[in-house]
Structure 1
Amino acid sequence: MPSPADEPIPPEGIPAALAAELSDRTPEELRNTIIYAQELLQFHDETASPVIPGPNEEILRSTERDGYTEVVKRTTCADGCDDCPHGPYLYHLKEESRPEGGTKVRWTFLGEVSLAE
């Protein structure tokens, strides 16, 4: 079980009361919150963030930059891995147009980082 010191730091712009409320939610409630937030973005004619954690991934930080999104995440393996969790790792995400139409999010791995960075 993760320690309170490992809890992610909310990004700038998130009200403290909302961050506190979210940190008390269960994984299922958080997943439902993500779905609801994406629906609200669509309602406000905004595109959903390309930063969606995969299985066994934890997004520690996501920062919008000019032309890309900077993401720091860590991953866990199956039970029995003595080195888990792995990371944190830094990625740049860029949404690219596809020749056949639509877009695809490209994750570029940049390397391991410390949480203080």
Structure 2
Amino acid sequence: MSEPPEPPEEIPKYIQEGLEKQDVDTLEEVIDYARELREYLTEPPEEVEANEDEELVEKERRSGYTKVVKKVPCGKDCSGCPHGPYVYHVSRSGDGLDWEYIGPQEE
């Protein structure tokens, strides 16, 4: 290869420039770290819990997310609380968790 490879447009310039300054051993370490980070970010989170005022009905790890079914209060003074159960898909997002509301649980 006589010319350096063209970086994908999706890679920010500051990352590209930083990688180009590294030696081969460091690039191998970066590759290993990136693979481990990808695996961590795509594995279903185990640490999913309901808030203290919610009722966890079901928690099941799936491919890429954790399915959570819970009952939640409406925040009003009603006699029907908690409401639900409602289904959520929980995945990793940076340092936190991303809760995607799916809808009421079908019976």
Normalising by structure 1, report the TM-score: 0.47
Unmatched 5+ residue regions in structure 1? 1-47, 98-102
- More contact order relative to length (CA 8 Å, sep ≥ 6): 2
Q: Is the 8 A contact 1:58 1:75 kept in 2?
A: yes
Unmatched 5+ residue regions in structure 2? 1-44
Pairwise CA distance, 1:92: 0.1
- Aligned counterparts of 2:91 and 2:82: Cα–Cα separation in 1: 25
Q: Is the 8 A contact 2:54 2:82 kept in 1?
A: no
Partner deviation per Cα, 1:11-68 (whole Å, 9 max, x = no partner): xxxxxxxxxxxxxxxxxxxxxxxxxxxxxxxxxxxxx723111121111000000100
Give the number of equivalent residue pairs.
63
Pairwise CA distance, 1:78: 5.8
Q: Is the 8 A contact 2:46 2:61 kept in 1?
A: no
Q: Is the 8 A contact 1:50 1:105 kept in 2?
A: no
Which 4+ runs in 1 deviate beyond 3 A? 77-80
Normalising by structure 2, report the TM-score: 0.51
- Aligned counterparts of 2:104 and 2:76: Cα–Cα separation in 1: 22
When Rg is computed on C-alpha atoms for both structures, the one with the higher figure is 2
Identity within the alignment, %: 37
- Aligned counterparts of 1:75 and 1:96: Cα–Cα separation in 2: 23
In structure 1, what is the equivalent of residue 51 of structure 2?
Answer: 54
